Amino acid sequence: MNYQQTLAYLLEQLPMFSKTGSDAYKANLANTIFLCNELNNPQLKFPSVHIAGTNGKGSVSHTLAAILQTAGYKTGLYTSPHLKDFRERIKVNGIMCSEEFVVNFTSNMQQTIEKIKPSFFEITVAMAFEYFAQQNVDIAIIETGLGGRLDSTNIITPQLSIITNIGLDHIQILGDTIEKIAWEKAGIIKNKVPVIIGEATEETKHVFDKVAKEKNAPIYYVQDEMQMESFMYNNYLLQLNVLHKSTNKLQTISTDLLGIYQTKNILTVLTAIHQLQKLGFKILEHHIHFALKNVQQIAGFKGRWQLLQTNPTIIADVAHNEDGIKQVLLHLKQISFKNLHIIIGMVKDKDVSKVLSLLPKNANYYFTQAQIPRALPSIDLKNLANTFLLKGNNYANVTLALHAAKNNATTNDLILVIGSVFLVGEIDNL
C-alpha cells in the first residue's frame, strides 16, 4: 500500500471518534498495552510530559514543545486531532513523521490490527510511541485524546503531568458533572510524578488534592505560582506581564498565540518550564522568549485565534464547547470591528444548545458543517439557532460559507470561523 492507501485502510478499518463519536471510544487500555507489547514497549524508551484538560491542552503542548526544541532538545509531539494531514499528530522538532514511516508501521502491524481491531486512536498512539523511540527523542510531549484515566496515552509514566482545566465536554463518556470529569482527567497523575493544575475551582481542587495525595505526587496550582498582571497587543503579538509569586518578580512575555485565553495557557507553560528546570532540563530565559514569539512556526500550531487575512479580518478558532466559546467571546470584546460575521458548524454530540445560547444575537450567521458523519447537518443547526434568535443561512460546507461571508463583509468587518476542529481543518489555505 502507498501512503494514501494506508490512510484509507486505517480510516475505513478502524473506528474513529472524530467521525463516529462515542462508538469508537474504548473504555480500557488493553488494546494499547497489547500493541505496545508487540512493539517492545517503545513508550519506555523516552522521557515525556503528559497533558490533559478540557481546553488548552493543544496550546500548552505545542508551546512546551517549541520551548524544549529551542533549548536544543530533540522533542517529540503527539497531539490530536489533525487539521489537514494525519501526520500532524506525530512530529519531531516540528516536522511531521514521514509518509514512509506510516506505511511501514501499518504494514508491519497489519496482522495485529486485524486480530485485535483497535480504534484509530489506539493505533495512532502506538504509532507515535514507536516513532519517538526510533527517532531517539530527548523528550516527548504527549497530549491526551479524551479524558485521561482510560485514554490510550495513559500507559506512559511521564516526568511531569499537566491538567490545563476542567469543563463540561464529552459528558456522555466522562461524566455529567465537573467533579466526575475532573476525576477522569486526574487519572493521568502518577506515583511521585509532579503534576501541574492550570486552573482549579472549588469543584475540582478537592479531586486533584485527593488523587495527588493517594499517588504521593507533588501538586502545583498555577494560581499559587504566578498571576497575570496585565496584557496588551503589540505588532500581532500578545504581550503579558507576569508576576512570579515566589520571587515577587515581574516578567514580560510576548507570544504569537493571540487568543486572550492564551494568557492562562502561558502561565501554565511557565509553571511547567520551572518544574522541568528543577528536573534538570537546561532551559534558559532566551529560549523561552524566542519560542513563545514563534510557537506557530516552530511547532506548526494552527487553528487557535488564527489570523487568515485582513480587510476584512478573518479569524479561525477551533472553540467548540461552552468554555472555549466563552473565551472567544471575551476576546471579541477586546477588539474593534464594524460588523460581525460568524461561520459555525458543530458535531452532534456536543452541547450545541449551550454554545448557541452564548453567541451574540447581533451577528450575521452562516451555518455549515464539516464533511464527516458526526457533523450536525447545517439545516438542523440553523433551525436550532433560530430558537436562540440567531439569524442566517445554511451552507453545505465551510468554503461556501466563507465565500458568502466575504461577499457580505466590508473592509472593517470581522469574519469568525468556530464550532469544530474538523470545520476549521477544511478551510482552504489554513
At 27, is the pLDDT very low, low, confident or very high (cuts 50, 70, 90)? low
Q: How far apart are CA 389 and CA 387, in angstroms?
A: 5
Position 103: which residue type? V
306-425: CATH, from 3.90.190.20, 3.40.190.10, 3.40.50.970, 3.20.20.10: 3.90.190.20
The helix (run of H) or strand (run of E) holding residue 142 is strand 139-143
- The pLDDT tens digits for 365-392 are 999 999 988 899 999 999 999 999 999 9
Q: How many Cα atoms sit within 13 Å of 353 on the Cβ side?
A: 2
For 28-33, which contacts have Cβ atoms below 8 Å and span 24 or more sequence positions? Answer: 28/150, 29/150, 29/152, 29/154, 29/155, 31/116, 31/118, 31/119, 31/122, 31/152, 32/118, 32/122, 32/125, 32/126, 32/152, 32/155, 33/155
Average per-residue pLDDT for the chain: 92
C-alpha cell at 410: 466590508
Residues of the chain with CATH 3.90.190.20: 306-425
- For residue 168, pLDDT beyond 90: no
Rounded mean pLDDT, 345-366: 93
- For residue 296, pLDDT beyond 90: yes
Ranking 22-36, 42-56, 131-145, 276-290 by mean pLDDT, the lowest is 22-36
- The pLDDT tens digits for 394-423 are 999 999 999 999 999 999 999 999 998 889
% of the chain residues with pLDDT over 70: 95
Strand partners, 220: 196
Q: Are 331 and 356 in contact (CB under 8 A)?
A: no
Strand partners, 296: none
The CB density around residue 187, as the number of other CB atoms within 10 Å, is 19
Residues with Cβ < 8 Å from 184, sequence gap 6 or more?
Answer: 147, 148, 149, 150, 174, 175
pLDDT score recorded for residue 292:
98
pTM of the model: 0.91
Q: Are 52 and 153 in contact (CB under 8 A)?
A: no
Q: Are 320 and 262 in contact (CB under 8 A)?
A: no
Query: What is the residue-wise DSSP string for 106-137?
Result: HHHHHHHHHHH---HHHHHHHHHHHHHHHHT-
Rounded mean pLDDT, 274-294: 97
pLDDT score recorded for residue 17:
46
At 22, is the pLDDT very low, low, confident or very high (cuts 50, 70, 90)? very low
At 234, is the pLDDT very low, low, confident or very high (cuts 50, 70, 90)? confident
C-alpha cell at 39: 512493539
At 170, is the pLDDT very low, low, confident or very high (cuts 50, 70, 90)? low
Q: How far apart are CA 242 and CA 222, in angstroms?
A: 12
Residues of the chain with CATH 3.40.1190.10: 3-224
- For residue 152, pLDDT beyond 90: yes
- For residue 323, pLDDT beyond 50: yes
What's domain 3-224's architecture? Answer: 3-Layer(aba) Sandwich (3.40)
Torsion over CA of 59, 60, 63 and 67, rounded to 10 degrees?
Answer: 180
Ranking 84-93, 242-251, 274-283, 327-336 by mean pLDDT, the lowest is 327-336
Sign of CA dihedral 226, 230, 235, 238: positive
- For residue 118, pLDDT beyond 80: yes
Q: In what order do the strands lie in the sheet with 95-96?
A: 95-96, 90-92, 75-78, 139-143, 48-52, 160-163, 195-197, 219-221
**Nearest CA-CA partner of 152 in 21, 8, 35:** 35
pLDDT score recorded for residue 213:
97
Residues with Cβ < 8 Å from 302, sequence gap 6 or more?
Answer: 83, 296, 430
124 alpha-carbon distance from chain centroid: 16
pLDDT score recorded for residue 24:
47
Helix axes 3-13, 120-135, angle to 10 degrees: 140
